[in-house]
Amino acid sequence: MASGKTPSSKTPSSPRRITLNHVAERAGVSRSAASFVMSGRTDQRLSAEVFARVRAAAEELGYKPNLTAKTLRTGRSGTVALVSDFVSTTSFASTMVRGALEELCERDSLLFTVDTHGREELESRLLDSLLARNIDGVLYASMFTRSVTVPPVLKDTPVVLLNCLSDDGGGISVIPDEASAGEDAARLLLEAGHVQDIWFVGSMPPGQVGGTIWPPWAPLALSERREGIDRALKNAGTSLAGSVVVEDDWDIANGRAAVAGLLASGVRPRALICVNDAVAIGAGHALRAAGLRIPDDVSLVSFDGTPLAQAGEPALTTIALPHLEMGRRAASLLFDTDRTPRRIRVPMPVVPGGSIAGPRTGP
């Protein structure tokens, strides 16, 4: 008998770590029996007494199974990888990770996180490394909603596309419901009483709008948001007064410049639908600089639901990207035995702010 009963006071004779052999020996049974008990296999006809003895021995010795050995034997590792081109670039990426983690936690799986920086040779190296470790599945994620090529090396591994679509049209994808979000944005303005002088801020530069070459960022989000906006306005018997191009990146400075340009051209909008929060913040700066008040003179609504939306006064009304839920759904789908290709659209919730009011009656 060991001198103490606490698991920490192990006998001095313990060589390194407690293995199944030690448990079996202590319980006076074969390793096979011990294995059956520990993995809870009831199909193996073991007496209740053996069950109890093995359980007790494992408990007393503080047995922790070596999952590496188990993986080698079974081929399943209980791990999953999130392979993405971002991790840090966008602040809500981590929300997606957290959603995935929550779901994986319930399935006793661990998550590898890798960042490919969009470099193919790095991605290839990392995937080899992951597959060599017998990962059970891959969440293939993108920073912005876009079309991607799933590496062929993953053909024998369960994959869920997170925030992206496969360019071959296959695969299981989890993406935000951008079109509905567009409708919601438009509807918020319509319900507030806006009918005309509604502008969209965040179009592509003219040369790229109709072309096949999209910039690598956010083409789907843009086109689908626009689609929803246009549909909702059309159903209400109206349409956008026009749209404003935002150059390069959808950030604060470019949003400000775009709207400043619009105002300088003499246009007097009553409402702006901004392609994202950063552009909306920039738009707010431009409006204020022109002496216009939000929402009294101009209403603002935007997309993404970032912390940035809370920074202004008033806070922006924004349609949030459902990153937490997307991560959760994607992780959950990884374990779905049904592998038929499909696209899961996750609803984007409205985050109320104070940036929408009815149009002023006066000129």
Tell me which residues touch its own copies (CB under 8 A): 8, 64-69, 71-72, 77-79, 82, 87-88, 91-95, 97-98, 101, 105, 108, 110-115, 122, 126, 128-134, 152, 252, 281, 285, 288-289, 306-308, 310-313, 324
Instruction: Report, in Å, the least distance between residue 237 CB and its own copies.
Output: 36
Candidate segments 11-19, 172-180, 194-202, 277-285, binder of DNA by CB under 7 A: 11-19
Q: What are the tokens at 2? A: 């060991």
Judged by beta carbon distances under 5 to 8 A according to partner kind, the member of its own copies, DNA, none in contact with residue 19 is DNA
CB of 118 to its own copies, least distance (A): 13
> Is residue 17 a contact residue for DNA (CB under 7 A)?
yes
Q: Is 78 near DNA (CB under 7 A)?
A: no
By CB under 7 A, how many residues form the interface with DNA? Answer: 29
Measured from the CB atom, the residue of 113 and 208 that comes closer to its own copies is 113
**Nearest distance, CB of residue 233 and its own copies, angstroms:** 29
User: Is 19 or 243 the residue whose CB approaches DNA more closely?
Assistant: 19
- Decide whether 5 or 45 has the Cβ nearer to its own copies: 5
Task: Assess 14 for contact with DNA (CB under 7 A).
Answer: no
Measured from the CB atom, is 38 or 126 closer to DNA? 38
Site string for DNA, 32-71 (x = CB under 7 A): xx-xx-xx-x--xxxx-xx--------------xx--xx-
- Rounded to the nearest whole angstrom, what is the least distance from the CB of residue 88 to its own copies in the complex? 4
Is 157 near DNA (CB under 7 A)? Answer: no
**Smallest gap from residue 2 Cβ to DNA (A):** 19
| Residue 324 interacting partner from DNA, its own copies, none (CB closer than 5 to 8 Å by kind) | its own copies
Strand partners, 350: 319
HEC readout, the chain? CCCCCCCCCCCCCCCCCCCHHHHHHHHCCCHHHHHHHHCCCHHHCCCHHHHHHHHHHHHHHCCCCCHHHHHHHHCCCCEEEEEECCCCCCCCHHHHHHHHHHHHHHCCCEEEEEECCCCHHHHHHHHHHHHCCCCCEEEEEEEEEEEECCCHHHCCCCEEEEEEEECCCCCEEEEECHHHHHHHHHHHHHHHCCCCCEEEEEECCHHHHCCCCCCCCCHHHHHHHHHHHHHHHHHCCCCCCEEEECCCCCCHHHHHHHHHHHHHCCCCCCEEEECCHHHHHHHHHHHHHCCCCCCCCCEEEEEECCHHHHCCCCCCEEEECCHHHHHHHHHHHHCCCCCCCEEEEECCCEECCCCCCCCCCCC
Which one, of 349, 356, 289, lies nearest residue 316 by Cα?
356
Q: How far is the CB of 35 from DNA (least distance, A)?
A: 3
Task: Give the residues lining the site for DNA (CB under 7 A).
Answer: 16-17, 19-21, 28-33, 35-36, 38-39, 41, 44-47, 49-50, 65-66, 69-70, 72-74
